[in-house]
Structure 1
Amino acid sequence: MKVLAIGGSGGMGRAAVRAALSFDFIEEIIIAGIDADLGERFAASLNDPRARSIFLDVTDQEQLRYAIAAVDVVLNSAGPFFRFGVPILSAAIAEGKHYCDICDDWQPTVAMLELHEQAKQNNVIAVIGLGASPGIINLLCVKAAQQLDRVDRIISAWKLSGAVNADDGFQTAPVAGSVDAAAVHLMHCLSEKIRIIREGKSIETDALEHSTIDFPEFGLMDVWSLGHPEAITLPRHFTQLQSCYNGMLGIADWVDSLRQAAQAIAAGQISVDDAARKILQQVQQDAPTTQASPVAVKTPGSFAFAAGLKDNKPTRVGAYLKHLPAGGMATLTGIPQALFLPLLQQGHFQHAGVFSPEQVIDPDAFFALFDGFCGSEGAGVTVLTAQDSAAL
C-alpha cells in the first residue's frame, strides 16, 4: 500500500506517519507539504527506506492531483479544514483514491458528506474526522449508546488544556506571521454560529453555551459548547436524538476571554489568525507539561456521554479512555488516522462513499488496534452506567 501523507510533517501528521510505518504492509509513505526542509528532515529522521518527502502546495490543483495519482491512499492532516478539507477530498475522489482525514470543522464536514455519491461512483472509501475529537470520541459515543435501549442525548467533550503536544524534536518556534492551525480552528469554531441538536431539531446557535453533565461516578461536569463535527454526524447515525452537541471542559477561567475574542472576530475588530495567536499563548501558559510516556487518566480529559432509557428506566452512560499514548494531542489525533490503513487493509469497510467514523468503524476493532499504542495496559476503554430507580 502506497500512502500520501498530506501535511505529514506537521505535528498531527508526524504522529500519523510514525504509526503508519509500524505496519508491514505499507510499501511507501510520501510526506507531502509546503515546508520542504521540514519534510526532508523528518523523513530522514525516520530511518526507513519506505519514507520520503516531496514539496506540495495543496492550493495547486494540478500538483495536488499529480501527487495523489501516484498512491493508493491519502491521509490528509493539512488544516485548517475549513480551508483545505473539501478541495483535497474532491481531488482524491477524482483520482479514485481512498482517503482519511482529521477534519474538526463542522461546515466542511457537511460539504464533504455531500460528496458521498461521487465517492461511491468512483469506488472510493473516505472516512472523515478520524482523529481524537472527532474520531476516538465518536466511537466512545457508540460504546456509551450501546448500553441503552433508547438514546435521547449524546454529548462529547474535551479539555482545552489537553490540546497541547509533547516536543518530538521537530517543534520549532513560530515563524513571524505564522499561526497554529489548531488555534485558528478553535477561534473559527467560536466566532461563527454552530449547529447542534436541541429538542430533536437541528438548529444554529452561538457557541460557548454552558451546561452541566452528571457523569456516572465523577459527578457534575461543566461543558461549554462549540461548533464541531460530532453534532453533525452523530445524529445521522442515531436518528432519534433529542439533544447532541460537542463542548469544552475546564475553561471557566478562560471563557470570558474566549467569548470576547469570538465577539471581536465576528465584529471584524480582529482577524481569526490574530485572535488565535493570543489565545494559544494563554492556553500554553496555563497547560500542564505533557508527559513523554503513556499517560494514566485519573479524571476524563475527554469523554462521551449518553442518556436515555434502559429497561424502561432513565439511564446515564459515560465512556472514556483510562490510558493515552505518549505525545499529547498530536499522537492522540494522528494515531487514529493511521489506523484507517490496517482497517482498510483488513477489508473492514464494506461500502464505498464518504463516512464519519461511527458510520463504518466497529469501535471494538478500532480500540483493539489502538491499544497497541497505549502502553502495556492498552487504552482501557471504560464505560460507566448510572440508572435511576423510577421506571417510566
Structure 2
Amino acid sequence: MKVLAIGGSGGMGRAAVRAALTFDFVSEIVVAGIDLELAEDFVASLKAEASATGRIRAIYLDVTDDVSLRQAISEVDVVLNSAGPFFRFGVPILTAAIDEGKHYCDICDDWQPTAEMLKLSERAKQNNVTAVIGLGASPGISNLLCVKAASALDKVDTIVSAWKLSGAVNEDDGFNKPTAEGQVDAAAVHLIHCLSESIQVLKDGKMVETTPLQHTQIDYPVANSAKTKNSVPLDVWSLGHPEAITLVRRFPALQNCYNGMLGINDIVDSLRQIAAAVAAKELSVDDAARLLTEDGGREARQTRLAETERDDIPGILAYAAGRKNGQFATAGAFITNQPKGGMATITGTPQALFLPLLHKGHLQQTGVFAPEEVIDPDVFFELLDSFCGPKGTGLTVLTSS
C-alpha cells in the first residue's frame, strides 16, 4: 500500500506518518508539504530507523496547485490529508482524491466542509473510493465514543461529545517550528473560525443554526461504589465541530446533539469578545488567531486552564441520554489513556488507523462517511490500544439512572 501524507510534516501529519510506519503492509509513504526543508528533515530522521528504510520520501506540494496535487495523488493508493484549515482545503483535496480513484481519510474538524464533503459520496461510489472524514480526536475518537455510550442505552435521545481545551497543545517532537512572520497557526485559525461563525446543532429533532459558546450542563455518569449520586455536573460550551451534524446519520431518531468544550469557565468571556470582534469584522480570522497565540498566549492559556479544570474528567468524552429498561438513563464513554505527544498524536494516530481498517477489510462500503457510519468502535479502539501503552486506551462505558 502506497500512502500520500498531505501535510505529513506538520504536527498531526507527523504523528500519522509515524503510526503508519508501524504497519508492515505499508510499502511507501510520501510526505508532502509546502515546507520541503521541514519534510526532508522529518523524513531523514525516520530513515535512521530500520523500519523506515526505503519506505518513505518527501516531496514539495502546494495543495492549491490542482495539477500538482492530482499528479501526486495519482501515484499512490491512499491519501491521508492533514492539511488544515479544512474549511479552506478539505473539499478540493477530497475531490481530487475521488477523481483519481484513491481512498481517502482526513482529520477535518470544521462542520461546513464536512457537510459539503458528505455530498460527494455518490461521486466516490462511482469511482470505487472509500473516504472517511474527521478521523482524529474530535471528531473521530469522540464520534466512536458516542456510539459506545449510545449503544449502552435501549433508546437514545441526546448525544453530547466534549473535550478539554487544555489538551489542545502539542508536545515538542523536535520538529515544531515557530510560526514564520506573516503566517498563522492553523489550529488557532480553526478555533477562531469555530467561535466566530454560526454553527449547526440538532435540537428537538431539527438541525438549527445558532451561535457558538452556548452554555449547557450535563450530569455525567461516574464510577461510584458508595450509595450516593453516581453522576457529576459538567459545564459544556458549544462549538462548531462536525459531530453535531454527523451523528444523526448513525442515529436517525436522535433529538439533540452538539459538540462542546469543557473547563473554559475562566476564559469563556474573553473568547466571546474575540469571536464577536471577528463576527463584526473588526478583526480578521487570521489576526484573531495571532492574538490568541502571540507572546506565549497559548501556553499561558493552557496553563491557566489546566490549573482550574477538574482533573478527574477525561480529555475527550461522550454523553448519551435516553431510556434503558423503560426508565430514563444516561451513559458516558471515555478513554483513560492516549498516545503520548499531546494534541498531535491523539489526532494523527487515529487517522493512521484508517490504513489497517482498510487493509483488513473492515471498510467494505464505498462513498464518503463520518467515522461512526462505517467503523466498528470495538475494532478501532483495539487498534488504538497498541499506541497507548501497556494498559491500552482504558476504554470505559458507564451508565446512570
- Give TM-score, length-normalised by structure 2: 0.93
The equivalent of 2:88 in structure 1 is 83
1:200 CA drift (Å) = 1.0
Amino acid at match of 2:272: R
Residue deviations 1:53-76, cap 9 Å, x none? 000000000000000000000000
CA contact (8 A) 1:258 1:279 kept: no
The equivalent of 2:77 in structure 1 is 72
CA distance in 2, matches of 1:362, 1:240: 20
1:15 and 2:15 matched: yes
Amino acid at match of 2:301: D
CA distance in 2, matches of 1:204, 1:228: 13
1:41 and 2:13 matched: no
The equivalent of 2:58 in structure 1 is 53
CA contact (8 A) 1:166 1:327 kept: yes
CA distance in 2, matches of 1:277, 1:179: 6
Amino acid at match of 1:100: C
Amino acid at match of 2:61: L
- 1:160 corresponds to which of 149, 152, 165: 165
CA distance in 2, matches of 1:205, 1:276: 22
1:283 CA drift (Å) = 3.3
CA distance in 1, matches of 2:210, 2:83: 28
- 1:277 corresponds to which of 284, 290, 307: 290
The equivalent of 2:385 in structure 1 is 371
1:82 CA drift (Å) = 0.2
The equivalent of 2:228 in structure 1 is none
SS in 2 for 1:324: coil
The equivalent of 1:128 in structure 2 is 133
1:274 CA drift (Å) = 1.1
The equivalent of 1:171 in structure 2 is 176
CA distance in 1, matches of 2:202, 2:378: 27
CA distance in 2, matches of 1:268, 1:298: 39
Query: What are the residue-to-residue correspondences of 1:271-310 with 2, within 5 Å?
Result: 271-280=284-293, 281-288=296-303, 298-310=312-324
The range that moved more, 151-160 or 271-280, is 271-280
Query: What are the residue-to-residue correspondences of 1:335-354 with 2, within 5 Å?
Result: 335-354=349-368
Amino acid at match of 1:155: V
Amino acid at match of 2:340: A
The equivalent of 1:292 in structure 2 is none
CA distance in 2, matches of 1:31, 1:377: 31
Residue deviations 1:274-298, cap 9 Å, x none? 1112223433213249xxxxxxx84
CA distance in 1, matches of 2:292, 2:301: 11
SS in 2 for 1:228: coil
The equivalent of 1:312 in structure 2 is 326
CA contact (8 A) 1:161 1:283 kept: no
CA distance in 1, matches of 2:180, 2:257: 39
Amino acid at match of 2:283: I
- 2:156 corresponds to which of 142, 151, 154: 151
Percent of residue pairs identical: 66
The range that moved more, 120-129 or 179-188, is 179-188
The equivalent of 2:371 in structure 1 is 357
1:187 and 2:192 matched: yes
Residue deviations 1:193-220, cap 9 Å, x none? 1000111110000000000010012501
Amino acid at match of 1:287: Q
1:25 and 2:42 matched: no
Residue deviations 1:166-218, cap 9 Å, x none? 00000122211211111101100110110001111100000000000100125
- 1:329 corresponds to which of 343, 346, 351: 343
CA distance in 1, matches of 2:205, 2:292: 34
SS in 2 for 1:323: coil
SS in 1 for 2:386: helix
CA distance in 2, matches of 1:369, 1:11: 21
1:206 and 2:211 matched: yes
CA distance in 1, matches of 2:386, 2:327: 37
SS in 1 for 2:353: helix
CA contact (8 A) 1:298 1:322 kept: no
SS in 2 for 1:39: helix
